[in-house]
Chains A and B, each alone.
Chain A
Amino acid sequence: MTLQPDILHYAVSVVGKDRTGIVSGIAEALFRLGCNIADSSCTMLAGEFAVILIVSHEKPFSKSRLHDELKPVCDGLGMSLAVRALHADEIARLETQGEICLISVYGADQPGIVYRVTHELAERGVNITDLNTKLIGTPDEPVYVMMLEAALPEGQTPEELEALLGNLKKELNVEIGVRVVTPVAL
């Protein structure tokens, strides 16, 4: 769906213990309100289910009304709720000319993996578009895995980025790989 800047959009996030019926419960409430779900992402994190939705409504519709309608549904599901109104300039679809890369980072668990890697990326103007992490391994040997997708600034090559991350790789003693996943047009 192409987001239309001239109608009202809200960012809705709902998090709580996973169970069946969370998405359908929220979707039913939104449907009854006449709200559209534009972009959304829902995922399971440990035993928690996290829902992030961009919803729109074609008619004037207050944030408090949306909140008030969703609250009992979320309470019933035992989930937290947050609603934020978006400004028109926040809902434009992003465009990039740079390469899209999948960056994999994994190694012995230690404090600061996410911070150090993402800080380095931010310093280089790399825009993270998706990130997920998982703690795996055993209690004796915990392993941290982080996968992220990012848009490189135009002109920066994945090889350059991998080289830039080389020092961090040595310092943290983790594996860091950069692979291009830029889409092909067919």
Chain B
Amino acid sequence: MATQPILRYPHPVLKKVCHRVEAIDNVLHTLVRDLLDTMRDGPGSVGVAAPQIGVTLRVCVVDVSASRHGKDDNHGQLCMINPEITARSGTAVMREGCMSVPDYTGDVERATEITVRYDEPGGAERVFTATGFEAVAIQHEMDHLDGVLFLDRIVCLKTGLFRRKNYR
């Protein structure tokens, strides 16, 4: 177990464009392990990107299978290295929050269906189409790899008044 502290804005790493992973080595395997442990440790967290734990590499993990929005439509635990979205369609607005920007939520428009391509920790390339909340979560985490926060994408002025102790 190597849960890492989640960096919070204005930590400068959160606004950096991350580097591509050039080699899948032990250091990378440790990073993936840390990302998964950190995601499991966060209350209701469905994803963590490497820059959120201070690493400027294009790696993120996503798992919406335990969340109420994603439990019926997901691909389980995803460990994504150098992910790219190759196709997107549809749009929907969802109110998002982020562990790196606590106490704030806002309405963000995202594609409802995306085709994503990435390398798995074992080295194999994977391509699949995600929809619904899983697609939203992947887009949110991938934004972190480009230094983009949900604050950069808010489409509606209304913001959440309440801080939540738990997300479900």
A residues bordering B, Cβ < 8 Å? 2, 93-97, 100, 129-130, 149, 151, 181-186
Please name all residues of chain A whose beta carbon is closer than 8 Å to the beta carbon of B99 when the two chains form the complex. 185-186
Q: List 6 A-B contacts (CB under 8 A).
A: A94-B163, A95-B164, A96-B164, A184-B69, A184-B96, A186-B98
For the complex formed, measure the closest distance between the CB of A121 and the CB atoms of chain B, giving whole angstroms.
16
Contact indicator per residue, chain B 142-153, by CB within 8 Å of chain A (1) or not (0): 000000001000
Top-10 shortest CB links A-B: A185-B167, A183-B105, A186-B140, A183-B95, A183-B97, A96-B162, A129-B161, A185-B44, A185-B97, A181-B95
Please name all residues of chain B whose beta carbon is closer than 8 Å to the beta carbon of A100 when the two chains form the complex. 95, 160, 162
Q: With an 8 A cutoff between CB atoms, is B80 at the interface?
A: no
Please name all residues of chain A whose beta carbon is closer than 8 Å to the beta carbon of B69 when the two chains form the complex. 184
Q: Give the CA-CA distance A95 to B103 in the complex, in Å.
A: 10
Q: Give the CA-CA distance A134 to B168 in the complex, in Å.
A: 33
For the complex formed, measure the closest distance between the CB of A5 and the CB atoms of chain B, giving whole angstroms.
15
Q: Give the CA-CA distance A169 to B81 in the complex, in Å.
A: 51
**Which of the four size classes fits the interface of chain B?**
20 to 34
Q: Give the CA-CA distance A129 to B164 in the complex, in Å.
A: 14
Residue among B44, B47, B95, B166 with the highest chain A CB neighbour number at 10 A: B95
Closest to B156 in A: A181
Are B96's CB and A183's CB within 8 A?
Answer: yes
Are A185's CB and B163's CB within 8 A?
Answer: no
Q: With an 8 A cutoff between CB atoms, is B34 at the interface?
A: no
A149-B166 CB under 8 A given contacts A186-B96, A186-B97: no
Q: With an 8 A cutoff between CB atoms, is B141 at the interface?
A: yes
Closest to B42 in A: A185
CB within 8 Å of A: which B117-168 residues: 133, 136-137, 140-141, 150, 158, 160-168
Closest to A185 in B: B167
Q: Give the CA-CA distance A182 to B43 in the complex, in Å.
A: 15
Q: Give the CA-CA distance A186 to B97 in the complex, in Å.
A: 6
For the complex formed, measure the closest distance between the CB of B168 and the CB atoms of chain A, giving whole angstroms.
8
Given A183-B164, A186-B140, 13 other A-B contacts at CB below 8 A? A2-B103, A93-B103, A100-B160, A129-B161, A130-B158, A130-B161, A149-B158, A184-B46, A184-B67, A185-B42, A185-B44, A186-B45, A186-B137
For the complex formed, measure the closest distance between the CB of B78 and the CB atoms of chain A, giving whole angstroms.
14
Residue among A95, A182, A183 with the highest chain B CB neighbour number at 10 A: A183
A184-B94 CB under 8 A given contacts A93-B163, A96-B164: yes
Residue A94 contacts which of B47, B67, B97, B161 (CB distance < 8 angstroms)? B161
Q: Give the CA-CA distance A130 to B160 in the complex, in Å.
A: 10
Closest to B165 in A: A95
Q: Give the CA-CA distance A25 to B19 in the complex, in Å.
A: 45
